[in-house]
Structure 1
Amino acid sequence: MRRFYLIGFLVLVCFDTFAQICFKLTANHAMPPEANLGWVLRVLSSPWVYCAIACYIGAFVSWMTLLEHAPIGPAFAASHLEVISVMALSVVIFGEHIGVPQLLGSALIIAGIVCLAISETDGEQPTAPH
């Protein structure tokens, strides 16, 4: 079951991450941002927006599948790993800068996931034979 969780969360994080990256690519394609039909048409003409939608559908299916089996606390926390993966890929793909606040926030997200995972493991009591 642990392998299922690991693969499931990896798939979920990948879908979520790529959806966010695709939305950024869509925004770059549709520049400049304007509140008019021309901007909407530029968004809809970008292949990245459709990739983002497909990734969101994949993330939804992955999340629903994980929720059937995974404990909710660690599952919810682990679903936020995409914040870190999007930030890291944004540095590589878009040349964005990561500062100390982002690094501290990433560390807190990881610490929270670890704490929830440990508490979930500690909470499992072996059942006594009847």
Structure 2
Amino acid sequence: MKRFYLIGFLLLMGFDTLAQISFKYAGTQALPVEASLAWLLRVFGQPWVYGAVIGYIGAFFTWMALLKHAPIGPAFAASHLEVVSVMLLSVWLFDEHLNTTRVLGALAIIAGIVCLGLAESREHVPEPTPAEA
């Protein structure tokens, strides 16, 4: 089951990251924004829009499969790991800069996921009965 969670959450993070990075690329190529049919055609002519759609559809189905088995608290927290992956990829792809606040925020997200995972694993450990103690 641990392998299922690992693969599932990595897949979810990959789909979510694909969607966010694709939206960023599509958004930068859609400028200037106009309320016109020509602008809509230009937006939907960008392959990145379809990367975002694929990312969201993949994330949806992956999330639904994970929710059948994973405890909701840690699953919901782990589903937000894409915040960290998008931040790191944005440094490389969009020349964005890391600063102390962003790094501390990413570490807080990861620490929160770890804490929820540890708490969930402790809840499933059976308590010894008085006869076993």
Same fold (TM over 0.5): yes
- Give the letter for the 1:39 counterpart: W
Shift of 1:55: 1.2
Within a 5 Å distance, the mapping from 1:1-130 to structure 2 comes to 1-126=1-126
Segments of 5+ residues of structure 1 without an aligned counterpart are none
- In structure 2, C-alpha distance between the alignment counterparts of 1:23 and 1:43, rounded to whole Å: 11
Higher radius of gyration, 1 or 2: 2
Deviations 1:78-119 (A, max 9, x none): 000000000000111111112111111101101100110010
Query: 3-state DSSP class of the match of 1:116?
Result: helix
Query: 3-state DSSP class of the match of 2:68?
Result: helix
Deviates more, 1:44-53 or 1:10-19: 44-53
Q: Aligned residues: percent identity?
A: 60
- Give the letter for the 1:9 counterpart: F
Shift of 1:127: 8.3
Shift of 1:40: 1.8
- In structure 2, C-alpha distance between the alignment counterparts of 1:102 and 1:35, rounded to whole Å: 34
Q: Which runs of 4+ in 1 moved over 4 A?
A: none
Per the normalisation by structure 1, the TM-score is 0.93
Aligned residues: CA RMSD: 1.4
Shift of 1:36: 3.2
Segments of 5+ residues of structure 2 without an aligned counterpart are 129-133
Shift of 1:2: 0.2
